[in-house]
């Protein structure tokens, strides 16, 4: 039997924020606690983004309670902290399918809910988007404010300050920015801004000044109180981060305790009234704790940022099956090994030390490690500066995130032919993270650039050798590799360079040439075995390089076989297969060719090689049909 004094559950009766707003104010804190419990229960079974969402429960709950969403817009940066928002907007029962094919996204998506006003999986976009929406409301004469909620980690992204600067210039009255300050993005925050916030808020003088101000104000009458409050604001601005944000044209409110619901609600209500009276733009600075309310996540928020299944009581994760080392681990170990042999090698990450494996490099060679924060543009040009003075920088950046620095790759690295190596982790399909994180465009946007070399290993052993090749090359070189474990290839004890542009003929044949690159090579080998059972003779070429192509080997095959199939885990448009077609056209060779790659559509979470026609049976079927058509 349940305890008669136990409060009646509330969350199950909330299908939209209007249901939340119908509750008495004193019950909002109970809703927040139920959300935290529900997130733990659900995510422990499905996996997902945990620590960030736990740390944002009170802020998101209070925003939906105080403001009139969806008329008032709530824009969440990145989306890691979006699970409380999903719980309050009719998707609580969808959590069983999160990250699965056909299920709910791990991030916010405009097509998923009328409350997801702007989709995001990359950091730093919220304030720009919110400002654009606020101006659209102004131009169209619509009611409502726009709230951008951004973590302090995302504030290291340059465009966040570009947006703050523009909003202050426009004096945008209907914009509210909520700075969720937990001193972390995924890894601990770096940079002068993070250090500034921490120093200002930890200073004893701040606490003393505020105490003096409160005592002084309590005893003042009438007009004196008005001017004294002005003075208090000056003192607060000088001794807190408000000095920075008010210089950009924002009214600064805070810092507030972001897990004390009464304070958060009162602040949101006061700011709502302030904005209604033309007092915007406003920045609310909330101090929170990543993983709040769950001791294991509080103790190790990095470990509990993105989780698989775990036991809520103990915090222990479900045991992992034995697997080969990940591509990320092999990359990191190889880079450390090469850096010990060459003191010019330095490693750069954009707030993803653990995700790219460079946390190990940092521990081993800390003086040659740089984390620039969520600032990919700066990372690339910083690397260019290092290279210009004779260093050999290796910028390890997820494929999807290097897109953010395309102009810097073009202008600052390739046009100057500087010796920068790009290690593109998470290239290809990424599974549960979905459309915002798929690494499907790097071949296309890199192979067009002058001086660039672009390569991909067939397995984790070849990754070692191609990384050495990329670093040795005295110009821009990109090596891309997939997420997750390798195939179990034995690692050669000695790392050796591979001749630039040299492909590898793994199997010869007469009927069809399967020309594959990266992690599609081994499925192509498997497909060749299946085709042999049908009497179809298949050659398999491991291209290794998208640029430069091994013209000699490719053209030799094209002149000997009857058909060609190219295979890549990359967008079919403009990618590796397109490069092969261009070569054949240039040489005037007419031969039936089928290019297998990612189709020209949005690739959702949960999609895999087998669902997109890139598994061994699909390759064999495509080759079989092509050979039959050529008969």
Q: What are phi and psi of 75, to 5 degrees?
A: -110, 120
Catalytic (active site) residue 215: no
Cα 490 from Cα 461, distance rounded (Å): 6
**CA gap 572, 596 in Å, rounded:** 7
110 is catalytic: no
**CA gap 211, 213 in Å, rounded:** 5
Q: How far apart are the first and last CA of the chain?
A: 76
How many residues make up the chain in this entry?
Answer: 631
Q: What is the distance between the alpha carbons of residues 544 and 519, in angstroms, rounded to a whole number?
A: 10
Single out the residue of 514, 440, 521, 423 nearest to residue 477, CA to CA: 423
SS (H, E, C) 305-370: CEECCECCCCCCECCCCCCCCEHHHHHHHHHHHHHHHCCCEEEEECCCCCCCCHHHHHHHCHHHEE
Q: Which of 290, 360, 368, 447 is catalytic?
A: 290
Per the CB < 8 A criterion, the answer to whether 24 and 113 are in contact is no
Which is the catalytic residue, given 172, 183, 376, 462? Answer: 376
Give Cα 90 distance to the centre of its chain: 25
- Strand partners for 371: 349
Residue with tokens 């521990």: 363
42, 360, 368, 404: the catalytic one is 404
Q: Which residue has the tokens 């699909």?
A: 618
Closest CA to 176 of 83, 86, 254: 254
Within a 10 A sphere around the Cβ of 320, how many other Cβ atoms?
A: 8
Nearest residue to 411 via CA among 377, 439, 453, 443? 377
Distance, CA of 371 to CA of 440 (rounded, Å): 25
Q: In 537-570, which positions are buried (b, 16+ CB within 10 angstroms) versus exposed (e)?
A: bbbbbbbbbbbebbeebbbebbeebbbbbbbbbb
Closest CA to 433 of 101, 36, 123, 187: 101
Is residue 376 annotated as part of the catalytic site, yes or no?
yes
Cis bond upstream, residue 323 (ω within 30): no
- Give how far Cα 188 sits from Cα of 51, 161, 337, Å: 13, 20, 26
392-398/345-349 β-pairing: parallel
Within 8 A by CB and 6+ apart from 601, the residues are none
Q: 631: exposed, middle or buried (C-beta count within 10 Å: 0-12, 13-18, 19+)?
A: exposed
Contacts of 479 (CB under 8 A, 6+ apart): 421, 422, 423, 424, 455, 456, 457, 463, 466, 467, 470
SS3 538: strand
> How buried is 629 (Cβ within 10 angstroms: 0-12 exposed, 13-18 middle, 19+ buried)?
exposed
Residues annotated as catalytic are 290, 376, 404
């Amino acid at each position: 039997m349940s305890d008669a004094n136990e409060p009646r559950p509330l969350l199950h009766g909330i299908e939209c924020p209007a249901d939340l707003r119908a509750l008495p104010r004193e019950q909002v804190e109970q809703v927040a606690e139920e959300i935290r419990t529900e997130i733990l229960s659900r995510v422990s079974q499905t996996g997902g983004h945990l620590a960030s969402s736990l740390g944002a429960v009170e802020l998101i709950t209070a925003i939906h309670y105080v403001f009139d969403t969806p008329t008032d817009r709530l824009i969440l940066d990145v989306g890691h902290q979006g699970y409380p928002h999903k719980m309050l907007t009719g998707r609580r029962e969808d959590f069983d399918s999160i990250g699965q094919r056909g299920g709910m996204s791990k991030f916010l998506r405009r097509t998923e809910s009328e409350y997801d006003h702007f989709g995001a999986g990359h950091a730093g976009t919220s304030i720009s988007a919110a400002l654009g929406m606020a101006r659209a409301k102004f131009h169209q004469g619509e009611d409502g404010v726009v709230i951008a909620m951004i973590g302090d980690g995302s504030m290291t992204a340059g465009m966040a300050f570009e947006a703050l600067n523009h909003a202050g210039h426009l004096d945008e009255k209907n914009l509210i920015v909520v700075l969720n300050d937990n001193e972390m993005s995924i890894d601990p925050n770096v940079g002068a801004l993070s250090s500034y916030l921490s120093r200002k808020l930890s200073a004893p003088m701040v606490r003393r000044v505020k105490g003096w101000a409160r005592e002084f104000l309590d005893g003042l009458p009438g007009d004196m109180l008005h001017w004294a409050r002005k003075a208090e604001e000056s003192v607060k601005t000088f001794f807190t981060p408000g000095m920075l944000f008010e210089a950009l044209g924002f009214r600064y409110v805070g810092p507030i305790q972001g897990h004390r619901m009464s304070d958060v609600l009162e602040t949101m209500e006061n700011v709502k009234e302030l904005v209604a009276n033309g007092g915007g733009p406003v920045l609310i600075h909330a101090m929170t704790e990543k993983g709040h309310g769950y001791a294991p996540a509080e103790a190790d928020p990095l470990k509990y940022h993105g989780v698989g299944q775990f036991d809520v009581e103990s915090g222990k994760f479900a045991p992992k099956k034995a697997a080969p080392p990940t591509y990320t681990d092999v990359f990191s170990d190889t880079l450390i090994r090469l850096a010990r042999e060459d003191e010019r090698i330095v490693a750069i990450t954009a707030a993803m030390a653990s995700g790219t494996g460079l946390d190990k490099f940092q521990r081993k060679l800390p003086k040659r490690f740089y984390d620039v924060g969520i600032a990919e543009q700066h990372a690339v040009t910083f690397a260019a500066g290092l290279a210009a003075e004779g260093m050999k920088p290796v910028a390890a950046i997820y494929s999807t995130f290097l897109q953010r620095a395309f102009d810097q790759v073009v202008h600052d690295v390739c046009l100057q032919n500087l010796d920068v190596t790009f290690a593109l982790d998470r290239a290809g399909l990424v599974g549960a993270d979905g459309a915002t994180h798929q690494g499907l465009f790097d071949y296309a946007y890199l192979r067009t650039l002058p001086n660039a070399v672009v390569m991909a290993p067939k397995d984790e052993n070849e990754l070692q050798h191609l990384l050495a090749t990329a670093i040795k090359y005295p110009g821009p070189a990109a090596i891309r590799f997939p997420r997750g474990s390798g195939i179990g290839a034995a690692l050669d004890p000695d790392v050796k360079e591979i001749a630039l542009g040299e492909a590898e003929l793994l199997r010869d044949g007469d009927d069809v040439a399967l020309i594959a690159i990266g992690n599609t090579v081994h499925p192509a080998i498997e497909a060749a075995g299946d085709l042999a059972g049908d009497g179809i003779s298949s050659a398999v070429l491991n291209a290794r390089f998208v640029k430069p192509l091994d013209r000699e080997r490719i053209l030799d095959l094209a002149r000997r076989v009857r058909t060609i199939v190219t295979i890549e885990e990359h967008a079919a448009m403009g990618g590796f297969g397109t490069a092969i077609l261009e070569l054949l056209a240039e040489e005037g060779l007419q031969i039936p060719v089928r290019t297998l790659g990612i189709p020209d559509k949005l690739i959702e979470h949960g999609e895999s090689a087998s669902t997109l026609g890139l598994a061994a049976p699909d390759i064999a079927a495509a080759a079989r049909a092509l050979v039959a058509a050529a008969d």
